[in-house]
Amino acid sequence: MASSVTVACVVGTRPEAVKMAPVIRRLRRPGSGFKVIVLATGQHRELLDRALADFGLRSDDDLGLMRPGQDLATLTARCLEAIGGWLGRARPDLVVAQGDTTSVLSAAMASHCHRIPFAHVEAGLRSGDPAEPFPEESNRVLTARLADLHFAPTPWARDNLIREGIPASRVRVVGNPVIDALRWVERSAPPTPIPTPTAPGTARMILLTSHRRENQGAPLARICAAVRTLVARDRGLLVVFPVHPSPGVRAVVDRELGGIDRVARIDPVGYPDFVALMKASRLILSDSGGVQEEAPALGRPVLVLRDRTERPEAVSAGACRLVGTDPDRIVAEAEAILSGSVPPLAPISPFGDGRASDRIARALADWFGLPAEDPSSAIGEDTREPGEAAGLAA
């Protein structure tokens, strides 16, 4: 029986930091039996640091891998080499990473090379098309072949893994820790004013985010065209667009939306501010995976700016609609929601009940044979699957 387990939590991007933060905080709880090291790859340099700070965290070590103009193959090679070298020196008992980025796949490969167990958080999501999202879909499939433990957010994700030959004994349905993060912000962060200037006479707000690699260039220009039409037709509408720092995104957005009345292009905001923006919106347009998980829990409808999603649970629940990047379709669907012809969305949570990090911690403790925690330190812990605790479809 192990008395203490060293866990390396690898994070590279802002969404990874948001979703891993509840897991890191939970594993660091006194009496858990875990020593946690946060290793940052730095895929999103400033955004990553800010996201960790929003949860009172910082990285313990930083690989600083980003370089200007770096292509995907070069980043992957450098990431694998750097994480592999770090693991060879640190020799943790377990590596944990979340999601589908280059950092995650590289962490899984490096762990495999060093024969260190790897646990994958948010496992089993599939769109069925390696081109959408690219390269994230392939990253997930490859990571699944290397992981020792798979923390699936929903029964659907679990079933994907089992169909691919992953033993059911290595898969746990835990929910998505992004709901833990969302609820933590709602409990812990003071009310945040909307971090954008308001436009005179506007009564309704659309929140827009777009950064996916497959949407850059002409698809993003089509999304911007839809935004121009929406604000031209509705004088009471404000669109708020926190613009991703990627040069490929900013160049198109500045060209297509610069100087457009009632379109507020703002810098990326911290997670509490982003939650405030979601709550203040009447509608969200986004190609983000995280938004598809968070917005339904806040009762905000999402038009997904993609043709496919690896999160069909939100579409099945009626909280998200796939609209792609066709301007006419985006405008028609948005106007239907804004006009009230589509019934308001009640808060629903297809991706968990806010206790995913508890279930992950308990599963890892069982994996390593750690003694049970003192019950007095586990107030609110719930180790049931989300299907039991929140009534999610099995």
State the catalytic residues: 100, 122, 136, 211, 213, 244
Taken in order 191, 196, 201, 202, the sign of the CA dihedral is negative
Hey, how many other C-beta atoms are within 10 angstroms of the C-beta on 282? 18
d(CA 334, CA 284): 9
Bridge-partner residues for 40, per DSSP? 11, 62
Round the CA-based radius of gyration of the chain to a whole number and report it: 21
Residue 183, exposed/middle/buried by CB under 10 A (0-12, 13-18, 19+)? middle
Bridge-partner residues for 283, per DSSP? 206
Write out the two tokens for 295. Answer: 């917005």
Phi then psi for 387, rounded to 5 degrees? -60, -35
Write out the two tokens for 296. Answer: 């339904």
d(CA 281, CA 299): 10
